[in-house]
Amino acid sequence: MKIQQYLDSTYLKTPEQASLSVKENTKVVEVFIQEAIDEGFKLIMIRPDMVKLASKMIKDANSNVNIGTVIGFPEGTYSIDEKLVEAQKAIEDGADDLDFVCNYEAFKRGDIDLVKNEILEGTKLGLAHHKIVKWIIEVAALNANQIIQLSALIKNVVMANFKEECYSSVFVKSSTGFYKTKEGLPNGATVPTIIMMLENASPLSVKAAGGVRTYEEALEMIRLGVKRIGTSSAKAIANGQIANGDY
């Protein structure tokens, strides 16, 4: 199996989060982009302000690596108008995949219409530009019933508003990797949460993000049925080593 084509190599830290200067952090991003090119990963996942950099590097290298970015990251509480502006700019800068953080806090407090509307409008924008759209539900912030319900809600909005040929371009994604859990609980993908997502998001695809740290764990996720895996240690996983990244 060519596992590289399942891996979205990810670096989403701001300079402040990485305790680096802007210049130093940009250099880290460049290293991740070049590694994705060299290793043939499916995608490089970076912050929106780095999409132009990735686009230039990938074009100069004549590479097929796709570019993904995050929208409304990491809290998901941006208004849908703010998310659409951010997504439109990312599209113009060269992004292929748009990973929206769903407003899971609105969902938890019962504001279902808000969530339905952002899923509809965000997906509509992405698909209109022939992009892949992923909805991050932040499983660590949800209980099992909420994971099931939100996965199904995203599926139902997509199925009610878009043609069947669009379904393969919309994903439900587990995590941002930035959610702070208590008592050391997982903040990313686990087998139980991924199974719930797969069962309730189908026919949409699922991306397992965060928590996948070995080649064997990645294979397990693929066998379960995920189509993408987000990790800050893509090269280590592909080479059969234990990931040392925090995502």
- Tokens 């099931």 -> residue: 148
Encoding tokens for residue 231? 């990790």
d(CA 200, CA 225): 13
The yes-or-no answer on residue 56 being catalytic is: no
Does the active-site annotation cover 99?
Answer: yes
Per the residue annotation, which of 83, 99, 131, 155 is the catalytic one?
Answer: 99
Indicate which residue of 83, 134, 155, 207 is catalytic: 207
Of 42, 83, 134, 173, the catalytic one is: 173
**Residues annotated catalytic, as ranges:** 99, 173, 207
